[in-house]
Amino acid sequence: MSWTEMQPLLYDNTLDTLFMVWWSTFYAVLFGIPAGVLLHLTDRGALLQNVVVNKVLGAIVNIGRSFPFLILIVVLIPFTRLVVGVSIGPTGAVVPLAIAAIPFFARLVEAALREVDHGLVEAAQAMGGGTWTIIFKVLLPQALPALVAAVTTTVITLIGYSAIAGAVGGGGLGNLAYTYGYQQYETSLMITTVVELIVLVTLVQLLGDLIVRRLAGRGTRPSSPVRVGLRRARTEEPAAVTEAA
Give per-residue pLDDT as tens, 153-207: 999 999 999 988 887 778 888 888 878 776 677 788 888 888 999 999 999 999 9
Burial code (b: 16+ CB inside 10 Å, e: under 16) for 32-70 equals bbebbbbbbbbbeebeeeeeeebeebbeebeebeebebe
Task: Note the pLDDT of residue 119.
Answer: 86
Tell me if 174 sits within 8 A of 167, measured CB to CB: yes
What is the predicted pLDDT for the residue at 53? 94
What does the pLDDT read at residue 124? 87
Q: What is the pTM of this model?
A: 0.85
Q: Give the C-alpha separation, 101 to 69, whole Å.
A: 10
The confidence score (pLDDT) of residue 243 equals 46
pLDDT one-digit tens code per residue, 3-12: 676 788 888 8
Residues in the chain, pLDDT under 50? 222-226, 228-230, 233-245
Using CA atoms, how far apart are residues 194 and 203, in angstroms rounded to an integer?
14
